C-alpha cells in the first residue's frame, strides 16, 4: 500500500517527515484494532450504544468530581 501526503512547500522537511511518521503510526494502530476486533460479535449499533453509555458515565463522573466537589 502506498499513501501520498501533500504538504505545502513552506513546511520544513523535518515537519513533513514527522507528519508521515504520525500517519504511519495511526495506520498501525488501526490495523492493531482491526486485528483485535476481527472476531467480535458486536454489531455497529451495539458499539454505538456502548460508546454512548461510556460517554454518559464519564460525564457523570466528571460532574460529580469537579462541579459537585465530590
pLDDT tens column, 35-47: 999 999 999 999 9
Q: Provide the pLDDT confidence category of residue 61 given band limits of 50, 70 and 90.
A: very high
- Tell me how far apart the alpha carbons of residues 40 and 38 are, in angstroms, rounded to a whole number: 6
Q: With 70 as the cut, is the pLDDT of residue 51 above it?
A: yes
Check whether 24 has a pLDDT greater than 70: yes
pLDDT of residue 70: 60
Question: pLDDT per residue over 7-22, tens digit each?
Answer: 899 999 999 999 999 9
* Euclidean distance between CA atoms 48 and 15, whole angstroms: 36
pLDDT value of residue 12: 94
d(CA 35, CA 46) in angstroms, rounded, equals: 19
Backbone angle region of 42, left / alpha / beta, with phi > 0 → left and psi within -120 to 50 → alpha:
beta
Amino acid at each position: 500500500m502506498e499513501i501520498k501526503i501533500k504538504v505545502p512547500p513552506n513546511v520544513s522537511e523535518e515537519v513533513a517527515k514527522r507528519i508521515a511518521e504520525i500517519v504511519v503510526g495511526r495506520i498501525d494502530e488501526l490495523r492493531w484494532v482491526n486485528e483485535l476486533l476481527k472476531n467480535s460479535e458486536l454489531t455497529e449499533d451495539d458499539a454505538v450504544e456502548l460508546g454512548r453509555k461510556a460517554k454518559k458515565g464519564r460525564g457523570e463522573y466528571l460532574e460529580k468530581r469537579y462541579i459537585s466537589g465530590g
